[in-house]
Amino acid sequence: MKHTDIKKLFTNSAEYVEKSVIVCGWVRTFRDSKTISFVELNDGTSFKNLQLIIDKDKNIDTKNLVAGTSLKVEGLLVESEKNGVELQVANLEVLGECPAEYPLQKKRHTLEFLREIPHLRIRTRYFQAVFTVRDQLAQAIHKYFHLNGYKYLHAPIITASDCEGAGEMFRVTTQDWNANYKTEQEYYADDFFGAKAGLSVSCQLEGEMAAMGLGRIYTFGPTFRAEHSNTTKHLAEFWHVEPEVCFADINDIIEIGEEFIKFIIKDCLENCKDELAFLNQYGEQGLLEKLEHVVNSDFAKVDYTDAVEILKKSGKQFVYPVEWGDDLQTEHEKYLTDEYFKKPTFVVNYPAHIKSFYMKQNPDGKTVAATDLLVPGIGEIIGCSEREADLDKLLEAMKKRNMPTEAYEDYLATRRFGSVPHSGFGLGFDRMLMYIAGVQNIRDTLMFPRTVGKI
C-alpha cells in the first residue's frame, strides 16, 4: 500500500510540505466544529499524532471516524504553527471500522484495566511510549557492545545445567507422567533429550566458554525463572543481557557496568525525546531529571560489610532485621538507594554463602568478588562478579554446594586449559526499562508478561 510514514512528515517536513501525500493510521481522537472536523491520526511510527483537517465543504463522510478506526487518507501537507505540519484531507478511505465495544474509548484508563487487554493496550499513548523506549534500549545495548568489540553470542535456551543453582528451572519435556518408572533417572532417560532438561536461567556458563575464544562476548535473550515471587519486579520469563569479559577483574567490570548503563540511558534520552517527555509528564514525576543526573554523576560504591553497618545505624524498623551474612531484602536495598546514597549503588564483596558457586573467592575466606547494582525505586538491576578462575577453588565451592561436578566438565575445562581472570554481569532488561521509562510494574514492560499463575 503506497503511503508515507507519519514520522517522516515531521522529521523530513521540507520534503513533503505543499505536496500531496498518502498516510495510513488509526484515529486517536475526533473533534467536530461547524465548518471543520479534526482527526488526530497515529500510525505507530511517530509518537506525535498527525492532525487531519477535514473541510465540511468537501462532503467527506466523517460519521464513523471514532477512536480506533483505521484510515487511508490523501491530502495536502501544510505547515502549522501549533503542530509543525498538518494534512488537509482530499480523500479518505475507512480501512476498518471500530464498533462501540472497542474498550479504549476513554482518554485515560488505569494500568490495571489495561493489563486485562494486553493485545489492545499497545494502542495507547502510554504503551506506545514504553515500547518505543524498549526498542531504543535494545538497540542501544547492541550499539554499546558492537562499538566496544564484544561479539553477540546466541546461547541455547534449552539446557541441562542450572547456572544459578537456585533450583528455579522450568522443565522441558515431551513425556507424560508414567507410574511404571522406578527412578527419576529412568524416567528422564526416556525423555526427548535422554536427560532432565530445562529452560535456561542464565547464559553465563556458555558465555564464559565463548569468551575464552572470542575475548569479549554478550548474550541478549529471554531467560526463565520459576520463582514464586509475585512482585512488581519479577517475571517468569525475562530478557537478560549478559556480557562476559576476559582479562578483567571485579573493578574493571564495575567500570564497564557504569559506562554501559550511562551509555544506554544517554542513547534513549537522545532518541526518545517525545516519549520520555510524555512519560515524565504522565508517568514518573522527575523522570528526566533523574536520568540526566544518573548520566552526569558517579555511581556510589559500598562494601557489603559497610552497607550492613549503614543499615544497622539507620534507626529504621525493618521487617527483616539485617545481620552480616544475610542477603539484603528489598527494604534494605531501598533504604540504601532511595534514602542513603540517592543514586545507583554498587554493593561489593558479598558473603560467599549467599552467592553462586562461580564467584571469585576473596582472600578473607568469607566473601566473594561479586556486586549487585541497585537503583532507586527498583533495587537490583545487575548481578555481577569476577569469576573464580582457579580450578581447585572452583571445585571446592561446587562440592560445598553439593553440585554434581561431572555435569559441569565442559565448564570446568575453561579453568583446566589456559584459565584467565574474567568477569561478567547480568542485566535484567525489563527492570532496566522500568528504570528508564519510569514504569512501576514489570508487567507493563512486556506485551504478554509471564508471571506465576498467569499465562
Q: Cβ of residue 378: shortest distance to ligand 4AD, in angstroms? A: 8
* Nearer Cβ to ligand 4AD (251/314): 251
The region of 33-41, 47-55, 88-96, 419-427 touching ligand 4AD under the rule CB under 6 A is 419-427
> Residues 271, 272, 275, CA angle at the centre, nearest 5°?
170
Binding track, positions 342-381, relative to ligand 4AD; x by CB under 6 A: --------------------------------------xx
130 binds, among ligand 4AD, Mg ion, none (CB under 5 to 8 A by kind): none
Which residue bears the cell 572470542? 214
**What length is written for the chain?**
455
Binding track, positions 383-402, relative to Mg ion; x by CB under 5 A: x-------------------
C-alpha cell at 87: 494534512
By CB under 6 A, the residues from 195 to 254 that bind ligand 4AD are 202, 204, 225, 227, 234-235, 238, 240, 242
The region of 97-105, 307-315, 321-329, 426-434 touching ligand 4AD under the rule CB under 6 A is 426-434
Tell me which amino acid residue 90 is: A
**SS3 at position 273:** helix
The region of 26-34, 75-83, 94-102, 425-433 touching ligand 4AD under the rule CB under 6 A is 425-433
Binding track, positions 148-187, relative to ligand 4AD; x by CB under 6 A: ---------------xx-----------------------
State the number of CA atoms in the 13 A half-sphere of 407 facing the CB: 15
By CB under 5 A, the residues from 102 to 141 that bind Mg ion are none
428 is an interface residue for ligand 4AD by CB under 6 A = yes
Pairing of strands 237-246, 216-224: antiparallel
371 binds, among ligand 4AD, Mg ion, none (CB under 5 to 8 A by kind): none
Q: Cβ of residue 309: shortest distance to Mg ion, in angstroms? A: 22
Of 125, 100, 105, 117, nearest in space to 47 by CA: 125
The sheet carrying 158-159 orders its strands as: 158-159, 197-199, 171-172
| CA distances from residue 111 to 9, 124, 272, 292, 444 in whole angstroms, order as listed | 31, 11, 22, 26, 8
State the number of CA atoms in the 13 A half-sphere of 177 facing the CB: 1
By CB under 5 A, the residues from 189 to 208 that bind Mg ion are none
* Nearer Cβ to ligand 4AD (68/449): 449
> Which residue in 114, 250, 382, 433 binds ligand 4AD (CB under 6 A)?
382
Contacts of 286 (CB under 8 A, 6+ apart): 280
Q: Cβ of residue 370: shortest distance to ligand 4AD, in angstroms? A: 9
Element at 142 (helix H, strand E): helix 125-147
Contacts of 23 (CB under 8 A, 6+ apart): 3, 4, 5, 6, 9, 41, 43, 50, 72, 73, 87
Q: Which residues bind ligand 4AD (CB under 6 A)?
A: 163-164, 202, 204, 225, 227, 234-235, 238, 240, 242, 380-384, 424-426, 428, 430-431
Q: Which residues bind Mg ion (CB under 5 A)?
A: 383
